[in-house]
Structure 1
Amino acid sequence: MSSGVKVADQVTAIYNQMRLVKNDADQRERIRLVLLRINEGFIDVEEGKIFREKDLEDKDDVYAFFLSLMKPEECCYLLYDCHYETVESPKEELVFVMWAPDTAKVGLRMQYATSKRNLAQILTGIKHILEINCPSDYADKEDFAKKIGGTVVKVEGNVCMHHN
């Protein structure tokens, strides 16, 4: 089942910008995190919720900031350019999150769940698609690390798992 909610053109443009990072581009201008909401029949970027590398430089923990965007009783989608390290090497991959907390109204949760497919059709090539319904599911970086890859040892420069 799909909703009649459409994806705004701006979302496609931002997604393409995030996935096609150019090596010669100013890394401080790189989009790292975007909050999307359904508004008036469209999935669109929430005003003021595009965070570039330079916006996150003063954050001690980018992952904690990412989690802080998920408010109780408010559903949203997040595109997150996650920087992490595995036992083998550092990685930068996009993560798509649908935040539909158990505390949100049922109708709102249903709208986000049924609209997710419309958005997923545009977000081709994303390796990590997560649905989060309870903040405690991902409060621990180890739980998040398990979802994105078994040998993750750091998320956003912070140790999250120890391997022997």
Structure 2
Amino acid sequence: MAVHDDCKLKFLQLKAKRSYRFIVFKIEQQQVVVEKLGEPTESYDDFTASLPANECRYAVYDFDFITAENCQRSKIFFTAWSPDSSKVRHKMVYASSKDRFKRELDGISFELQATDPSELSLDIVKGRATST
């Protein structure tokens, strides 16, 4: 599975310049491409709404939070979105190419795998962010 250069470029802009809040990626014609860029002002709800109900996607999100010590922190996490209602073949393609694609994105703090919107709840993300 090829990875379009734009994927790495946009990820670096998210990581270094915080140009985006999130990026949604999809597989098209045997390569991973950028589907949507979330503006820095967009919320976590905007991010979850960007994931299609019946299709798999990869995504990264720049998550801001306050630690127990009252420090402002930010962590980038990777999401492998694979809803139960998506086609089995798509799930297999996304599952088999996920690790290779993730290696292209240097600077990911943790990963979420979700098959249902409840698995992307803000509480789960906060829990993972503060424990890593």
Task: Name the TM-score, length of structure 2 as normaliser.
Answer: 0.90
**Per-residue CA shift, 1:75-115, capped at 9, x if unaligned?**
10111111111222111121111101111111101110111
- Structure 1: how far apart are the matches of 2:63 and 2:24? 14
Indicate the residue corresponding to 1:85 in structure 2: 66
Structure 1 runs not aligned, ≥5 long: 22-26, 57-61, 152-164
1:44 aligns with 2:33: yes
2:55 pairs with one of 66, 74, 78: 74
- Structure 2: how far apart are the matches of 1:92 and 1:127? 10
- The RMSD of aligned alpha carbons is 1.7
**Per-residue CA shift, 1:48-91, capped at 9, x if unaligned?**
x112225x2xxxxx111111112221110111111111222111
1:114 aligns with 2:96: yes
- Structure number with greater Rg is 1
Matching residue's letter, 1:12:
K
- Structure 2: how far apart are the matches of 1:31 and 1:43? 18
- Structure 2: how far apart are the matches of 1:125 and 1:81? 11
1:35 pairs with one of 14, 18, 24: 24
Indicate the residue corresponding to 2:112 in structure 1: 130
Structure 2 runs not aligned, ≥5 long: none
- Structure 2: how far apart are the matches of 1:73 and 1:80? 20
State the secondary structure of the residue aligned to 1:143.
helix
Contact 1:6 1:118 in 2 (8 A): no
Task: Name the TM-score, length of structure 1 as normaliser.
Answer: 0.73
Q: Aligned residues: percent identity?
A: 27
User: How far is 1:150 from its partner?
Assistant: 3.9
Question: Runs of 4+ in structure 1 displaced over 4 angstroms?
Answer: none
- Structure 1: how far apart are the matches of 2:20 and 2:109? 18
